Amino acid sequence: MTAKITWDSSFETGISEVDAQHLRLVEIINSLVDAIGHADKNTLKGIVEQLKEYAQYHFRTEEKIMAESGYAGLAEHRDEHAMFVDQILLFDLDVILASEGLAWDMLHFLRGWLTNHILVVDKRFAVQLQA
């Protein structure tokens, strides 16, 4: 079984800019799957850094759309975004990426958070935006 995320229509929110950015986030996580156990620590660190930066860029985009549409759940949603970024910042990458097992644990957290967030939390917003 692959640890990669398989993108399909269930991930689509119907907001094209958001969907394109989600696809990019999925691609970055999938590149981490390819790299764990193969690439050196600095390469892995670079991918996690890329994920953090792109996630922050994406979260800003999404929060702007929410603010412009007057979405009532903005504060709660923003908190979820902040928690994800904070968690990445808390990872001790020197320790985690020195162990393949810990690297997979981190990957499973990142993958689980992102898929749940898109499928449940982002979609809740998308449904309201399009109502």
* Positions in the binding site for ligand FEO (CB under 6 A): 18, 22, 58-59, 62, 77, 81, 117-118, 121-122
Cβ closest to ligand FEO, residue 43 vs residue 116:
116
Cβ closest to ligand FEO, residue 95 vs residue 120:
120
Q: How far is the CB of 88 from ligand FEO (least distance, A)?
A: 14
Cβ closest to ligand FEO, residue 71 vs residue 97:
71
Number of residue whose CB is nearest ligand FEO? 122
Q: How far is the CB of 80 from ligand FEO (least distance, A)?
A: 7
CB 25 within 8 A of CB 57: no
Instruction: Return contacts of 62-70, CB within 8 angstroms, 24+ apart.
Output: 62/18, 62/21, 62/122, 62/125, 65/15, 65/17, 65/18, 65/129, 66/125, 69/129
Residue 93: CA atoms inside 13 Å, Cβ hemisphere, count? 16
